[in-house]
Amino acid sequence: MTTGPDADRPPVPCRDCKTPLKSAQGQARGRGEQCWREYRRRLRAAQAATAAPAGPVRTSTAGLDGPDLFTTEEITDVE
Ligand SMILES: [Zn+2]
């Protein structure tokens, strides 16, 4: 047997561009080098969007409903 190691297995196509992946690393990831970078770039962008939501950031608890640690009047009412 002088055939290559990948001669007996069907070529794994890239999930994005359907190009047959030649490297074992690409086959394990399911994407070629180019598409893998693009995939990770989109993934990080999506994670950044959820980690840091757009809009004003609330820095104080003023305006929140319900009693907080500084409103002790209602708590000392208990006999
Ligand atoms: Zn691809």
Query: Tens of pLDDT along the chain (79 residues)?
Result: 556 555 677 889 999 999 999 999 999 999 999 999 999 999 999 999 888 666 676 666 666 666 666 655 666 665 6
Distance 20 CA to ligand 1 centre (A): 8
Whether 79 maps to a domain, the answer reads no
| Residues, Cβ < 5 Å to ion ligand 1 | 14, 16-17, 32, 35
Distance 9 CA to ligand 1 centre (A): 19
Q: Which domain holds residue 40?
A: 12-51
Residue-level pLDDT at 14: 97
Whether 57 maps to a domain, the answer reads no
Whether 25 maps to a domain, the answer reads yes
Residue-level pLDDT at 58: 66
Q: How many domains does the chain have?
A: 1
CB 76 within 8 Å of CB 70: no
Residues 6+ apart with CB under 8 A from 33: 23, 26
Distance 48 CA to ligand 1 centre (A): 24
Residues 6+ apart with CB under 8 A from 13: 19, 20, 21
